Amino acid sequence: MKALAPAEINPLVPGFLADPFAAYRRLHQAGPVLWHPKLRLWLVAGHAAARQVVRNPVFLSAPAGPIVATLAARAGYVFPMLARSLGVVPFVLNPPAHPPVRRFAASILTGKPLAGYEPVMRALAVRLLGEARAAGGFDAAADFADRLPTLFMGHLLGVPEEEMPGLRRYTDDIAKLFNQLLHVREYRELDGRLGGGLELLERIAAERRRAPRDDAISRMVAARPEGGALSDAEIAAYCLMTFLVGSETTAALIGGAVRILLESPAHYAELRGERALLKPAVEEFLRCETPVQLLSRFASADAEAGGQRIAHGERMVVLLGAANRDPAAYPEPDRFDPRRDGAAHLAFGEAAHACIGATLARTEVRVALDAFLDLPPLRLRAPGRYGSYDWLRRLRQLPVEFA
């Protein structure tokens, strides 16, 4: 018999992720894997069950491509820009397409030793915080958490800084694609706007063919993945994907970490005085403020998860944010503790779809927080405001002032 989820809990509603934790507690009380009759899918909230699902190759990623194709057939419009962009996003692909795309995407992010990037991260963080300090107060989400990953990813790829704000808007559009409840009109609007971002990146790729530089776009121009050179159009799509995975989630984590610190003066003071705690603190921020709160999966064959039989073809929503606050895995799971021991969090996923930029993101967040803690003490000026994604828990506003 299927264990049922509370019918009124719907994690796919925009706004749910602004404060999902009471709902997560109710799901944990009901069971690790629950059937939602209204949504007609499984909710996976338990830590052990979530790990079981993401590690089992029977449970495949729910690709966005077929959803867009279905909508295209219904609307009589092919969404060409969305198709180009989604074709190189590793976390919505399955074998045989997934492994080669993943390998090449990983090579973009790891083209240089990590030690060579850290001074760039630090310089950008210090610069942004210097501007904020001169202003006397700032928005820690919009002015710092959001801008730092954008500037760093632009440096990594080789996109001129003056183009970054526009390109960031295009990656926001791609992030919206993964919301579960978009309408045909919204897909068509996104498709139209993405064309401008892809054209910009194609122009930069063409420039790098004429005059290579020490950046990722030049390395993509020279690359021969699977034995063939990439076109400028393919390079542009990979660039948008790289911006997406390197900026959205990192911005979400930096903003969430700053909010936790400013809401917990004792931990704020502790980390200001003991910077060696930053590395484990980043893992605890990832657990408490998991940026990607859910993953979609479907069963390619009959299988089992968390004591429930999952039938072939049934859909699943793996609630990574809930799994990372499972009381069966973490005592007092809602309490931030930079000295916490216990099970490894699932914020970056695991196995075939583990985050390709996890090490880079960890480093960037640690460097960002180290620079932030160098500022004179700050305090919140108003509560934070979260975006309306149904998969990404990301602050849009976090006004702060010097204490």
Mean pLDDT across the chain, nearest whole number?
A: 89
**Terminal-to-terminal C-alpha distance of the chain:** 56
What number of other Cβ atoms are within 10 A of residue 38's Cβ? 10
Asked whether residue 227 carries a pLDDT value surpassing 70, the answer given is no
**CATH class for the region spanning 16-89+96-402:** mainly alpha
In terms of Cα–Cα distance, which of 194, 261, 248, 263 is closest to 387? 248
- Residues forming a β-bridge with 295: 318
The per-residue pLDDT for range 57-67, each reduced to its tens digit, is 999 987 666 66
Burial label for 272, CB within 10 Å (0-12, 13-18, 19+), is middle
Q: How confident is the model at residue 68 (pLDDT cuts 50, 70, 90)?
A: low
The model's pLDDT over 150-203, given as tens digits with 9 standing for 90+, comes to 999 999 999 999 888 778 777 777 777 777 656 777 777 878 888 888 899 999
Angstrom distance (rounded) from CA 22 to CA 375: 34
* Cβ–Cβ < 8 Å for 61, 94: yes
Amino acid at 313: G
Give the domain ranges of the chain: 16-89+96-402
C-alpha–C-alpha distance, residues 337 and 394, integer Å = 21
Amino acid code (one letter) for 15: G
> Any idea which residue has 């300090």 for tokens?
133
* Whether the predicted pLDDT of 91 surpasses 80: no
Determine which of 160-174, 251-265, 346-360 has the lowest per-residue pLDDT on average: 160-174
Q: Tell me the residue type at 345.
A: H
Q: Is the pLDDT of residue 219 over 70?
A: yes
The 3-state DSSP class for residue 89 equals coil
Other beta carbons within 10 Å of 22? 10
Close Cβ partners of 139 (under 8 Å, ≥ 6 residues apart): 397, 398, 399, 400
Cα four-point dihedral sign 190, 191, 193, 198: positive
- Cβ 157 vs Cβ 109: under 8 Å: no
Determine the residue type at 108.
I
pLDDT, residue 191, reads 80
pLDDT in tens, 354-401: 888 899 999 999 999 999 999 999 999 999 999 888 889 999 999 999
Contact 166, 197 (CB under 8 A): yes
- pLDDT band of 265, cuts 50, 70, 90: very high
Bridge partners (DSSP) listed for residue 88:
none
- Cα–Cα dist 180/174, whole Å: 13
- Position 348, amino acid: F
| Residue 265 exposure: Cα atoms within 13 Å on the Cβ side | 5
Count of residues making up the chain: 403
Ranges assigned E (strand) in 173-321: 294-299, 303-305, 308-310, 315-319
Kind plus residue range of the DSSP H or E element containing 303: strand 303-305
Share of the chain above pLDDT 70, in %: 93
Q: Which residues pair with 41 in a beta bridge?
A: 36
Greatest distance between any 2 Cα atoms in the chain: 64
Q: What is the pLDDT of residue 104?
A: 77
Residue 246 has pLDDT above 80, yes or no: yes
Signed CA dihedral, 17, 258, 384, 249: sign only:
negative
With contact defined as beta carbons under 8 Å apart, do 261 and 268 qualify? yes
